[in-house]
Structure 1
Amino acid sequence: MKFNRLVIALYLFSIVSCAQSTNNVPKSYIAYKTSEEIKIDGESTENSWNKVKWSDTFIDIEGIKEPTYNTQVKMMWDETYFYILAKLEEPHVWADITEHDAIIFHNNDFEVFIDPDGDTFNYYELEVNALNTVWDLFITKAYREKNEALNDWTLTGLKSAVKVDGTINNPNDKDKGWTLELAIPWEAYKTSYFEKNVPENKHWRVNFSRVNWDFQLENGVYQRKKDAEGKLLHEYNWVWSPQGVINMHEPEKWGYVYFSLKEVGSKDSFTIPQDDAVKAELYSLYKSQKSYFKKYKKWATTIDSLTSKAIIVNHKTLQPTLENHATGYNISVKSPFTNTILIIKENGKIISN
């Protein structure tokens, strides 16, 4: 079935991994509110866009290497939409996928990942190529768990437009790149996150990825490049907030977008909650538990079985406890910053008490 092929492709794309880096601090960005009517045409000529700063330049997904071409984003919002503007430098703009919900990352593309409540469950993915072909899907939980990628979910009300600075699919010249402008309606997300479902003075976990392929020409037509044995060369993955591993589907590593009520052109501040650093340590223990289970076919019963080092966050030593039960385990810890009890379960979900 077509859906199964799509899910398998997405899964394989998400699990290619290398040595994990622990030094990647998530990026953050303040999205200011606009009162100007924004026309989604890829032109970004509105005064509001001119007042909004570009993000940091994208880095490779592991946070190690500088990409070949620059990528940056801008963000802002109003009562109806979350606006995103992406600028992609590319000397050869090409694309050939025109079917909605096809595997867009088989072309060069731009991708948006959004987890509104930051629990790594029930998040959203959007992919767009230079022909403005869209793949939108809803994912129940990260691929490290048994999940569902709902390819039949549609981001109703999405507005998108692409502007190519050059000539698409023409190998006889060099282009400067392409710009993608998006307006994602708040109504597309489930309505239980915040009042009015608009995250005023709240933050969401968000990341952006750019997939780029080396190419070859076959009878003057762009194709993904193959090696001498006819196998496709690996794609490049360039992201806003580095993952530390070649896997976008670890939502706890995504960046932070804070939706300020202040108007574009204003100044505001945002600090990543200290408890999120505590949660990051819980995710590390959760992953150690998965490795322990894979090796011994059972869950560890003590924290010492998972780590031999003291767990220190911002000069505070954590004291996690591990409790096994019939269907799995709970690892809990009291935050030294808020006194909140944070618990991670065997499925990777964190709850607060």
Structure 2
Amino acid sequence: MIIALTGLVTAMGQNSKSKESISHPPCNEFAIPRYIAQKIKSPITLDGKPDEEIWQKAKKSRNFVDLIYDTETIHETKAAVVWDDEYLYVAYWVTEPDVTATLTERDSPIYKNNDVELFVAGKDAYYEFEINSFGTIYEVFFVWEDAYLSQGYDKVPNLGPNAEKKRDFRGVGYRHPRGNRYGFWNWDLEGLKTAVHVDGTINKSDDRDRGWTVELALPWSSLDILTRNSDKTTPPKNGDEWRMDFSRFNQYKEAEPAKDSGGWAWSSHRVWDSHVPECFTFIQFSDTYVEAP
């Protein structure tokens, strides 16, 4: 049985090199995007419509590129990040001419629908989040095996050795030299807020939609678990740099000769695997306010 319980189904045929022959990291380190996330003065009320003045002034990412080929994509996808002392806020703008979804149960395999995803990495662990256009979410928490005991993750509620839905995880399309991770499919980010808005008619293929948007608020108090064994704090200090991955996965691909793996991301990994923190976008936190000129 293939355990691809994250937003990627194993597709080794999409890589021209074997797992063993790919250098580490597989991405071009000098091409990894860097982004400055500014602070906001007032909390954002999430309704799935990132049309507030804050989001209009916040800098958006570049258009997502193909996860493997680092090429342009057929539809536009962008993201933006802002923060305050309580929450990390993320917004996605997804162009989608035919918005579809089928899964409605929490922690369903959302990667089997069209979705957007967010990964937030610490030194020894990382959090994965997925959402479809219905607003159905999927969460997993991963801890590198070499740090699981030494950093006390085994003592954290819901992350113990006998935790329900704890599994070994060695990646999807890339063999990471750090080795095994423990994945916890029973773990939820406490206090997470999400909202989705569809600009069109979902699951109605006889018209043309414009797309969908997503707003997320992740509490720093819950993300604090990712600061273990590092000098980072939650909320972050001015100048702190985190690694985060922003991606979109589609159940369709653009026709050949276009190179379309079906996975698009802010930062290309050059392999069919989202689970490579060394390829995540650099997010630097600034205490300057978005409202400032």
Q: Which residue of 2 aligns with 1:161?
A: 195
2:9 counterpart of 1:13: yes
Return the letter of the residue paired with 1:81: Y
Aligned to 2:131, which of 106, 128, 132? Answer: 128
Q: CA deviation at 1:199?
A: 1.3
CA contact (8 A) 1:52 1:75 kept: yes
Deviation per CA, 1:198-226, whole angstroms, max 9, x where unpaired? 112201011111001129xxxxxxxxxxx
Percentage identity across paired residues of the two chains: 35
1:71-86 counterparts in 2 under 5 A?
71-86=77-92
Return the letter of the residue paired with 2:15: C
SS of the equivalent of 2:189 reads coil
Return the letter of the residue paired with 1:176: R
Aligned to 1:185, which of 207, 219, 241? Answer: 219
SS of the equivalent of 1:148 reads strand
SS of the equivalent of 2:94 reads strand
Q: Which residue of 1 aligns with 2:267?
A: 241
CA contact (8 A) 1:91 1:174 kept: yes
2:276 counterpart of 1:250: yes
1:49-198 counterparts in 2 under 5 A?
49-116=55-122, 119=123, 121-141=124-144, 143=171, 144=175, 145-189=179-223, 190=225, 192=228, 197-198=234-235
CA contact (8 A) 1:109 1:130 kept: yes
SS of the equivalent of 2:68 reads coil
SS of the equivalent of 1:188 reads helix
Distance 2:280 2:232 in 1: 24
Q: CA deviation at 1:47?
A: 2.1
Q: CA deviation at 1:87?
A: 0.3
SS of the equivalent of 2:100 reads coil
TM-score, scaled relative to structure 2: 0.76
SS of the equivalent of 1:205 reads strand
Distance 1:102 1:68, change over 3 A: same
Q: CA deviation at 1:37?
A: 2.4
Deviation per CA, 1:125-179, whole angstroms, max 9, x where unpaired? 0000000100011011363322221000001111111111101111121100000
Distance 2:35 2:242 in 1: 10
CA contact (8 A) 2:8 2:272 kept: no
Q: May I ask how many residue pairs the two structures share in their alignment? A: 242
Distance 2:89 2:27 in 1: 31
Return the letter of the residue paired with 1:78: D
Distance 1:263 1:57 in 2: 24
1:3-42 counterparts in 2 under 5 A?
7-10=3-6, 13=9, 16=12, 18-19=15-16, 23=28, 25-42=31-48
CA contact (8 A) 2:196 2:214 kept: yes
Distance 2:45 2:58 in 1: 16
Distance 1:76 1:108 in 2: 25
Distance 1:241 1:89, change over 3 A: same
Q: Rg: which structure is higher?
A: 1
Distance 1:44 1:70 in 2: 16
TM-score, scaled relative to structure 1: 0.64
Structure 2, gaps ≥5 residues long: 17-21, 145-169, 254-259
Distance 1:11 1:209 in 2: 9
CA contact (8 A) 1:211 1:235 kept: no
SS of the equivalent of 1:187 reads helix
Distance 1:82 1:110 in 2: 17
CA contact (8 A) 1:57 1:70 kept: yes
Q: Which residue of 1 aligns with 2:256?
A: none
1:187-336 counterparts in 2 under 5 A?
187-189=221-223, 190=225, 192=228, 197-201=234-238, 202-214=240-252, 236-266=262-292
Q: CA deviation at 1:86?
A: 0.2
Higher helix proportion, which one? 1
Q: CA deviation at 1:14?
A: 5.6
Distance 1:245 1:169, change over 3 A: same
Distance 1:150 1:174, change over 3 A: same
Q: Which residue of 1 aligns with 2:150?
A: none
